[in-house]
Structure 1
Amino acid sequence: MAHTNPAAKGEQATGALPAARAARKPLCYYGDDFTGSTDVLEALFRTGLRTVLFLEPPDASMLGQERFAAMDAFGVAGVGRSLTPEEAERTLRPIFATLKSSGAAIVHYKICSTFDSSPGIGNIGTAAAIGRETFGEGYIPLVVGVPYLGRYTVFGHHFARAGEAVHRLDRHPTMSRHPITPMKESDLRVHLSEQCDDRISLLDLTEQDAELPVVRERLKRRVAEERPDLLLFDVLDEQRLERVGQLLWQEAQSREGMFVIGSSGIEYALGAAWQALRLPELQPDRAAVARAYPVDRLLVVSGSCSPVTEEQIGEAMKLGFTGIRVPVDELIDPERAKQARNRLLAEATERLERGESVILYSASGPDDPGIAEFRRALLAQGFRAEDSSKLLGGLLGELVRTVIEHSGLKRLVVAGGDTSGYVTRELGIFALECVSVLAPGAPLCRASSASPQLDGLELILKGGQVGERDFFQRAKNGG
């Protein structure tokens, strides 16, 4: 079984991009996890820009393919959220150089809207330092709030919706207990200061409450007085989000490629600004948010331990989905792996051939005892705890690819932001495009692959916090 090590192999720059194409691109981005990368696809799809998400940095020959000829923007899906600072150094530096060569007005390092990060894993400060060295001086804008997704930044403190309630990030039922990057601080400036020595300033919501020229002067004064390395923008509602987008777009016009860090709030802010400014080159036909068609069978593979996903798995099983636990501890044990794999494949394939929809899950929720069992098995086999996402994603991806090739499935859901990137890489897919929107932050995408069985596969990458209780049923029914 081949396990991808993106820090050593998968995410390498492959050459400069054609300058003629670059002039037409307002934006390109790198997503630090796969579910977040498709979240940006959705945002740009809603804006009306045709965007392609590549699983490796594209070179001129890739962009020259006829299928990508009408592309307005592009992204590169990555796994930066699960990398150590040393791995990020090796991974991000060549990718940022490739993105810079695109000539795009804005280059976006896309992070999760719940700011998943720590000094040791997913360090955003490391990404900022590499970005500054690559793109030059000038403050780096930081925008994390996305009202559309229930994410809000108020006086520097971040809040996120869980179900019907909005929680401060350090009291969020999932993020405060995240197994890899638990959030113990809601002030994003304080949280980020543990990852870097940068000067971090804030343009708060009261300073945004004025006519645009006044807000521009306030921003200019803040930059002159505090000389920040990073500048965080409060985002509470769509009105302020549009204001932030106009500030970003104006700043980008004065730079040779502006590097920004943030959630898909960047794209929603810019989309609102482009519409408000009525720029002719950025006013394509609005995207038709078409309803997807239903499928007779759906395969869901989950590496998530979120309580939101836990509810979704339970609801789907009530509605007739077959749940099959993935014995991860057995699959990483050389003496038991082959038998466990064959048993799992046989059961999943048999169920799908009967016409059933299947959920393969490594954990039912945050309190599943299988999580502790997996961690003990990791240590027993000589792995580090931080290897869990890579290892789990590789195992699930290899299993899913075999199931799809034998069953002829047309649609797949992958749940779990940390594992989805590794699952998708194992599938042999090289690009994704958004074709429909099922739920905020979880678009339906069409895959490009050299494999006939996987080319055209419909794929939904769902973060742990995304979707209503009946999400998997809706994914099967097309909305």
Structure 2
Amino acid sequence: MLIGVIADDFTGASDIAVTLAKGLPGEGGLHTTQYLGVPQQPALSDVEAGVIALKSRSLPADQAVQQSLEACEWLLAQGCEQIVFKYCSTFDSTDAGNIGPVLDALAQRLEAKRVVVCPAFPAMGRTVYQGNLFVHDRPLNESGMAHHPLTPMKDADIRRLLARQATTPVSHIGWQQVVQGSEALAARLQASDSDAAELVVIDALSDRDLTVIGIAAAGSRLISGGSGIALALPHNMIKAGKAQGNRAALPRVEGATAILVGSCSGATRGQIDEHQKQHAVLALDIQDVMHERVTADDIVQFILTQQHACPLVYSSGDPDSVQQAQQQFGQHNISRRLDQLFGDAARKLVYEAGIQRLVVGGGETSGAVVSALALGSLQVGEEIDPGVPALFAQRTVPLALALKSGNFGRNDFFAHALQVLAGA
């Protein structure tokens, strides 16, 4: 294994996994496997990039650090030359962590000196300029992320955010330096009078900028960012003669379908609205969920009886309704109950009802579902939409999945994803 990734949620892991699997245009990527938690056995010998999906984004910081270090140790044992810490392109975290504390711990473990920090994902409108994170034309804190139920983002300045979270000093390299090219940027990253670790926030406005950064960081033991930070990493390994850039063909899966959605993002709500114009949709009322008037069996029954209509079950809502529910029941109580409900439903759908194509919306919901399914590892297939790959579980009965972050995907994503998983 050449490159090891530690991702702080499951959809983010899928996002960077497909980036590594496809590589730069015309070159090909790396043979990539996504692991659902830290594996208990060695990787297969042909895996060139391993992505460990943790559910650590919303954990207490000390637990996130512990899990991340465990993942790091396993990846190093597989021979990884470079470790990537992958977080959301909207830098989802709080002043207590978890991005800063994890970077502190990984930098110390790997004895990394200057650690790239770049959450930019231009394909989804996320860019970094003068150290500030933008979502399209809005600073992060004006993009709607200030109302996120778990990690409200109320500051766009990545330097300030990191300084409040991390003990490692934070510096910045502006876009004007990035456009001078990889050689100049690499020299800038290597030039320092101190051997102390440093977190270096780097601007990026385009995929070209991310490619420049990735090439400049070819020799770095630790880098961090959104999935775009990995764009050029396969190129580095191919250029060094350590990888061939070939990808194995993966299966297409037909069969029964289910869509489970737990994201409250504006993009996801729009996708649900679009889906219900032609397909079957069931909304879960949070009052019914919290008072256990709706069960996993209810979800399974709806999915199975509506197979002709691409059935989708969701728990979502606008910011006001979400806030009211949190005030009544508590944010973590709601999250815990929904995770259990969707996890139980997924397990019944796959192992009892024979569902073979499963699409999940929302990072927390995706984590709950794949944890409940205990699949171990997933092969990474083609990209369904930017940041969302087709995933395949190696089991007797084929299972294809798509795990979508809340803000990702085209307007008709859910039906489109089912078609791609079937090879249409």
CA deviation string 1:70-99 (max 9, x = no partner): 211111110111111132244233222222
What displacement does 1:427 show?
1.5
Match of 1:239 among 203, 208, 230: 208
Is residue 316 of structure 1 aligned with residue 275 of structure 2?
Answer: yes
Whole-Å Cα distance in 2 between the matches of residues 138 and 102 of structure 1? 23
Whole-Å Cα distance in 1 between the matches of residues 374 and 182 of structure 2? 47
Whole-Å Cα distance in 1 between the matches of residues 345 and 7 of structure 2? 25
Q: Paired residue for 2:326?
A: 375
Classify the secondary structure of the residue corresponding to 2:201.
strand
Instruction: Tell me, yes or no, if the aligned pair for 1:296 and 1:476 is still in contact at 8 Å.
Output: no
What displacement does 1:428 show?
2.4
Is residue 29 of structure 1 aligned with residue 5 of structure 2?
Answer: yes
Name the CA shift for 1:150/1:399 in 2 (closer, same or farther; >3 Å).
same
Name the CA shift for 1:215/1:90 in 2 (closer, same or farther; >3 Å).
closer
Is residue 361 of structure 1 aligned with residue 314 of structure 2?
Answer: yes
What displacement does 1:248 show?
0.6
Name the CA shift for 1:157/1:300 in 2 (closer, same or farther; >3 Å).
same
What displacement does 1:403 show?
2.5
Whole-Å Cα distance in 1 between the matches of residues 344 and 76 of structure 2? 33
CA deviation string 1:163-198 (max 9, x = no partner): xxx4221111x3122111111111100111121232
Whole-Å Cα distance in 1 between the matches of residues 31 and 234 of structure 2? 13
Match of 2:113 among 138, 141, 164: 138
TM-score w.r.t. structure 1 length?
0.80
Whole-Å Cα distance in 1 between the matches of residues 344 and 289 of structure 2? 12
Q: How does 1:51-66 map to 2 (within 5 A)?
A: 51-60=32-41, 62-63=42-43
What displacement does 1:361 show?
0.4
Name the CA shift for 1:341/1:377 in 2 (closer, same or farther; >3 Å).
farther
Whole-Å Cα distance in 2 between the matches of residues 444 and 323 of structure 1? 23
Match of 1:432 among 364, 378, 398: 378
Query: Over aligned residue pairs, what C-alpha RMSD do you find?
Result: 2.6
Is residue 304 of structure 1 aligned with residue 236 of structure 2?
Answer: no
**Unaligned segments of structure 2, at least 5 residues:** 24-28
Instruction: Tell me, yes or no, if the aligned pair for 1:430 and 1:448 is still in contact at 8 Å.
Output: no
Matched residue type, 1:41: A
Matched residue type, 2:272: I
Aligned-residue identity in percent? 27
Instruction: Tell me, yes or no, if the aligned pair for 1:242 and 1:273 is still in contact at 8 Å.
Output: no
Name the CA shift for 1:343/1:373 in 2 (closer, same or farther; >3 Å).
farther
How many residues matched?
416
Instruction: Tell me, yes or no, if the aligned pair for 1:438 and 1:444 is still in contact at 8 Å.
Output: yes
Q: Paired residue for 2:406?
A: 464
TM-score w.r.t. structure 2 length?
0.89
What displacement does 1:405 show?
3.4
Is residue 347 of structure 1 aligned with residue 302 of structure 2?
Answer: yes
Whole-Å Cα distance in 2 between the matches of residues 386 and 412 of structure 1? 26
Matched residue type, 2:313: L
Q: How does 1:379-398 map to 2 (within 5 A)?
A: 379=330, 385-398=331-344
Name the CA shift for 1:458/1:226 in 2 (closer, same or farther; >3 Å).
same
Classify the secondary structure of the residue corresponding to 1:35.
helix
Whole-Å Cα distance in 2 between the matches of residues 301 and 313 of structure 1? 11
Is residue 405 of structure 1 aligned with residue 351 of structure 2?
Answer: yes
Instruction: Tell me, yes or no, if the aligned pair for 2:261 and 2:361 is still in contact at 8 Å.
Output: yes
What displacement does 1:284 show?
1.9
Name the CA shift for 1:294/1:50 in 2 (closer, same or farther; >3 Å).
closer
Whole-Å Cα distance in 2 between the matches of residues 429 and 294 of structure 1? 17
Q: Paired residue for 2:132?
A: 157
| 466-475 or 135-144: bigger deviation | 135-144
Classify the secondary structure of the residue corresponding to 1:191.
helix
Match of 1:176 among 146, 157, 163: 146
**Unaligned segments of structure 1, at least 5 residues:** 1-24, 253-257, 380-384
